[in-house]
Amino acid sequence: MANLIDGRAIAEKVYVDLRRQIAELKSKGVTPGLAVVLVGDNPASRAYVRSKDKMSRELGLHSVKLELPAMTTQSELLSRVEELNRDPAIHGILVQSPPPKQIDEAAIVRALDPRKDVDGFHPVNVAKLVSAAADGFVPCTPLGIQRLLLESKIDISGAHVVILGRSMIVGKPLALLLMQKNKDADATVTVVHSRSRNLEKITRSADILIAAIGRANFVKSEHVRDGAVIVDVGISRVEDATNERGYRLVGDVAFDEVAKKAAAITPVPGGVGPMTIAMLMANTVKACRQVL
């Protein structure tokens, strides 16, 4: 059976370091500030925002949770973002995705001050990731995956990493991050997606297979070679009459059958998810330090 990569335990290690940095900043009279903006009442988004706000407060950050009605207009949201851009007490801004359909999400991202874009999606930060500039912000889930691998003593350098999925949230930035020329990366990266031919052949060649397509239990035993490391980014609800909630959470990987072949694997929940929030906090502290 594979070694379990415990995202909660590794996130706790991140928080120990962050608490030290935050105490140091507060001793200089500065408190890192994070503003999370939620438009509408999507239940999953509301849960994410609540957990981000809760962790901000636990760490002693200045936390602002801005909940706007579902009918908020593009111009109203832009004006709230501009207020946060100008607010010196706010170092990081996150507008929860997805917004209601009347909102142009790309325009909102472009309106953020790149120095406060702790989600790492502003074109300036994407360019900094491409050029490996140290002062840019890397999207939180890719950054969390890299940290999971490093903390688990999994050698990324020279490894063949196959990423299932090409989104701007995970697949693309993760590929850019892991192929960088430095001691924490140096991987050979292949990105596969719904149009890829010979998918199983490619995924079976992976030393590290990262699934980020949002399709429950898609990755089966035949996709994985013996001894591979598996990182499962997906999270889906599947009906389960034996569960009191009527459903259970699963990832993109058919865990039970893949775990028998893998050297190490992340669970769902408790793997990548906790690291995403930890990296949001880390990016907020970094944003604060960079404006001192």
Catalytic residues: 52, 96, 119
* Spatial separation of the C-alpha atoms in residues 173 and 275, rounded to whole Å: 16
Residues 6+ apart with CB under 8 A from 1: 259, 260
In which element (H, E) is residue 4 found? strand 3-4
* Spatial separation of the C-alpha atoms in residues 18 and 54, rounded to whole Å: 15
* Spatial separation of the C-alpha atoms in residues 184 and 249, rounded to whole Å: 31
Q: Which residue has the tokens 């990755």?
A: 219
End-to-end CA distance of the chain: 48
Q: Tell me, what DSSP letter sits at residue 165? A: -
Nearest to 229 by CA among 208, 247, 249: 208
Burial class from Cβ neighbours inside 10 Å (0-12, 13-18, 19+) for residue 236 reads: middle
Residues in the chain: 292
Cα 283 → chain centroid = 11
* Spatial separation of the C-alpha atoms in residues 211 and 163, rounded to whole Å: 6
